[in-house]
């Protein structure tokens, strides 16, 4: 007789995963090809980009690097600073709006093809299939008692998973600490505390999420699956079963007055989340389209047209024509409008961005001073913010009043990423204008990059 504690544990497992461990059957077809294309694309970018170098005017550095210690983000030739937080905010808004837009158009496309959880689950499941065999062999192995063979394949699988998870963690940390510097420190564990923490955490996280938890993350942990429904409308195309065409399902389709579904169950066997799409739209469905591939193959074999399971909207399944009218799809129109607005704002912000920012403070302690020659002097403090990734030399000029000039030094240097305060004295000949404050303009130009110029308005006090 089962102990009560075992029954409780089983009940918990039942809640967590209703159908036991899912061993999805392999399938071929256009959505499977698209899915693997996305796996390759995303992983080539992820594992490869940290190895790219960038020549910044003779200085070789990692092309993509989040240099948290120096508050810089390198993206090839672009260097972003905390002052560029607006760009980051726009990028995040664009990503979120893009996600809402694609969800309104075609459901959880991101989940099925680009979400890291889906991508890594696909890779880990592929390794499992290579080591343990197809879905039937894996089911058999699950049910068999532990023996030398099972121990060997299980150890091999977990060792490969662990190696991949560790390399994934190294790659991830390599975007924050230059990967060529990081690797030698890992071999003798001379990494810093934060690097050590993230290496261990990210490796364990990847291993647990993609190897052990898998579809349970999509079903029970991901909040997106719970609120995606609010982005849907009746014209949103999601993976759907055409019940009008498929029902009544029957394994003896040719002999009776039945629908096209031959009840083979293959669409369920290939589903990575273990659901039956014939039960209707379910929050567990990640829109991967593998059941479409499977069913199309079955339809092909029985000589029926494909598309019994397909990307279709509620109104299409009800037999009405699809609508693309923005008036009938306000969500799509709003998301598209927001995408356009924030894309434009991002491009404009980027085009206006200067690697040199200047702040001018007039010395209010000594408002003005008259020299022995009768010239009037005002003192200023200029803050030169060098946002380039190079040390810069800058020449300061002033204009806006007849005979206005800078007394003494007018060339200064600022280190990369620094704010350099410099003191400047400006003078004008006597009787250069009406008493009071007159507008003047400081023009600061880079000596290395002539196009880098900043003009800042200030005022000159006349007696
Ligand atoms: S694969 Fe197609 S035919 Fe087979 S059970 Fe699923 S919907 Fe029916
Ligand atoms: S029901 Fe189809 S589209 Fe949805 S997760 Fe399963 S296989 Fe993918």
Q: Which of 299, 328, 264 is nearest to 29 (CA)?
A: 299
Look at the alpha carbons of 288, 168, 65, 45 in this order and tell me if their dihedral is positive or negative: negative
Give the pLDDT confidence score for residue 218 in this predicted structure. Answer: 84
Residue 298 and residue 375 in one domain: no
In a domain, 285, yes or no: yes
Give the pLDDT confidence score for residue 230 in this predicted structure. Answer: 81
The domain in which residue 36 lies consists of 4-229
Residue 47 and residue 135 in one domain: yes
Instruction: Give 107 Cα–ligand 2 centroid separation in angstroms.
Output: 12
Residue 58 and residue 203 in one domain: yes
Residue 63 near residue 52, CB atoms below 8 Å: yes
Residue 22 and residue 147 in one domain: yes
In a domain, 331, yes or no: no
Give the pLDDT confidence score for residue 13 in this predicted structure. Answer: 38
Instruction: Give 329 Cα–ligand 2 centroid separation in angstroms.
Output: 25
Q: What angle do CA 87, 91, 92 make, to 5 degrees?
A: 120
Chosen domain end from 229, 263, 293: 229
CATH number, domain of 408, equals 2.60.40.10
Residue 312 and residue 434 in one domain: no
Residue 181 and residue 199 in one domain: yes
Report the nearest atom of ligand 1 relative to the CA of 309: 7
Best of 271, 280, 293, 297 for a ligand 2 pocket test (most atoms within 8 Å of beta carbon): 271
Query: Which residue has the least CA distance to atom 6 on ligand 1?
Result: 267
Instruction: Give 292 Cα–ligand 2 centroid separation in angstroms.
Output: 8
In a domain, 330, yes or no: no
**Burial zone of 332 (CB within 10 Å; 0-12 exposed, 13-18 middle, 19+ buried):** buried
Instruction: Give 251 Cα–ligand 1 centroid separation in angstroms.
Output: 10
In a domain, 242, yes or no: yes
Best of 248, 254, 259, 267 for a ligand 1 pocket test (most atoms within 8 Å of beta carbon): 267
Residue 206 and residue 290 in one domain: no
Could you say which residues of the chain have pLDDT below 70?
1-20, 253-256, 323-327
Instruction: Give 286 Cα–ligand 2 centroid separation in angstroms.
Output: 6
In a domain, 325, yes or no: no
336's enclosing H/E stretch is helix 330-352
Give the pLDDT confidence score for residue 1 in this predicted structure. Answer: 38
- Give the separation between CA 19 and CA 21, rounded to whole angstroms: 7
Residue 225 and residue 261 in one domain: no
Residue 405 near residue 422, CB atoms below 8 Å: no
Chosen domain end from 286, 317, 348: 317
In a domain, 329, yes or no: no
Give the pLDDT confidence score for residue 16 in this predicted structure. Answer: 41
Give the pLDDT confidence score for residue 11 in this predicted structure. Answer: 41
Best of 287, 295, 310 for a ligand 2 pocket test (most atoms within 8 Å of beta carbon): 287
Report the nearest atom of ligand 1 relative to the CA of 260: 3
* 419 Cβ contact partners less than 8 Å away, ≥ 6 residues apart: 383, 384, 385
Q: Compute the mean pLDDT over every residue in the chain, rounded to the nearest whole number.
A: 88
In a domain, 326, yes or no: no
CB 265 near ligand 1, within 6 Å: yes
Q: How many domains does the chain have?
A: 3
Report the nearest atom of ligand 1 relative to the CA of 291: 1
Give the pLDDT confidence score for residue 20 in this predicted structure. Answer: 63
What is 339-407 written as a DSSP string?
A: HHHHHHHHHHHHHH--SEEEEEEE-SSS--EE-TTS-EEEEEEEEEEE-SSS-EEEEEEEESSTT-EEE
As a residue count, the chain comes to 463
Chosen domain end from 289, 317, 345: 317
Best of 270, 291, 295 for a ligand 2 pocket test (most atoms within 8 Å of beta carbon): 291
The one-character DSSP state at 219 is: I
CB 264 near ligand 1, within 6 Å: yes
Residue 412 and residue 265 in one domain: no
411's enclosing H/E stretch is strand 411-414
- Give the separation between CA 369 and CA 377, rounded to whole angstroms: 5
Give the pLDDT confidence score for residue 15 in this predicted structure. Answer: 40
In a domain, 324, yes or no: no
Residue 205 and residue 108 in one domain: yes
CB 309 near ligand 1, within 6 Å: yes
What pLDDT digit, counting tens, does each position of 209-247 carry?
999 988 888 888 888 877 777 888 888 889 999 999 998
* 221 Cβ contact partners less than 8 Å away, ≥ 6 residues apart: 213
Residue 51 and residue 64 in one domain: yes
Look at the alpha carbons of 270, 274, 280, 283 in this order and tell me if their dihedral is positive or negative: negative
User: Which structure tokens are listed for 296?
Assistant: 């199309």
Give the pLDDT confidence score for residue 240 in this predicted structure. Answer: 94
Residue 125 and residue 87 in one domain: yes
Residue 293 near residue 32, CB atoms below 8 Å: yes
């Amino acid at each position: 007789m089962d102990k009560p504690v075992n029954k409780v544990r089983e009940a918990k497992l039942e809640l967590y995963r209703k159908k036991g461990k899912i061993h999805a059957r392999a399938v071929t077809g256009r959505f499977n090809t698209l899915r693997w294309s996305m796996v390759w694309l995303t992983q080539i970018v992820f594992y490869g980009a940290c190895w790219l170098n960038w020549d910044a005017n003779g200085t070789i550095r990692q092309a993509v690097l989040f240099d948290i210690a120096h508050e810089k983000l390198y993206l090839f030739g672009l260097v972003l600073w905390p002052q560029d937080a607006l760009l980051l905010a726009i990028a995040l808004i664009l990503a979120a709006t893009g996600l809402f837009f694609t969800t309104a158009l075609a459901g959880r496309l991101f989940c099925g093809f680009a979400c890291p959880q889906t991508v890594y689950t696909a890779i880990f499941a592929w390794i499992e299939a290579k080591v343990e065999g197809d879905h039937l062999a894996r089911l058999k192995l699950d049910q068999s008692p532990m023996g030398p063979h099972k121990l060997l394949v299980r150890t091999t699988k977990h060792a490969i998973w662990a190696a991949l998870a560790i390399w994934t963690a190294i790659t991830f940390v390599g975007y924050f600490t230059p990967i060529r510097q990081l690797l030698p420190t890992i071999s003798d564990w001379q990494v810093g505390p934060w690097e050590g923490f993230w290496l261990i955490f990210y490796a364990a996280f990847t291993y647990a999420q993609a190897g052990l938890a898998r579809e349970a993350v999509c079903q029970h942990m991901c909040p997106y699956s719970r609120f995606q429904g609010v982005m849907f409308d009746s014209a949103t195309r999601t993976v759907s079963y055409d019940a009008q065409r498929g029902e009544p399902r029957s394994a003896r389709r040719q002999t009776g007055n039945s629908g096209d579904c031959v009840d083979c169950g293959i669409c369920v066997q290939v589903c990575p989340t273990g659901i039956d799409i014939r039960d209707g739209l379910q929050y567990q469905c990640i829109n991967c389209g593998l059941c479409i591939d499977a069913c199309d193959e079955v339809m092909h074999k029985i000589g029926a047209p494909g598309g019994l399971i397909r990307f279709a909207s509620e109104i299409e399944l009800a037999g009405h024509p699809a609508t693309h009218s923005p008036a009938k799809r306000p969500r799509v129109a709003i998301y598209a409008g927001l995408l356009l607005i924030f894309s434009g704002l991002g491009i404009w912000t980027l085009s206006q961005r200067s690697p040199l920012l200047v702040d001018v403070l007039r010395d209010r302690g000594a408002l003005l001073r008259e020299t022995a020659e009768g010239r009037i002097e005002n003192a200023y403090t200029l803050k030169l913010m060098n946002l380039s990734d190079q040390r810069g030399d800058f020449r300061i000029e002033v204009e806006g009043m007849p005979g206005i000039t800078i007394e003494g030094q007018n060339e200064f240097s600022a280190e990369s990423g620094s704010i350099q305060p410099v003191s400047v004295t400006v003078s004008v000949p006597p009787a250069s204008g009406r008493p009071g404050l007159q507008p003047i303009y400081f023009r600061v130009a880079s000596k290395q990059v002539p196009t880098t110029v900043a003009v800042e308005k200030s005022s000159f006090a006349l007696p």
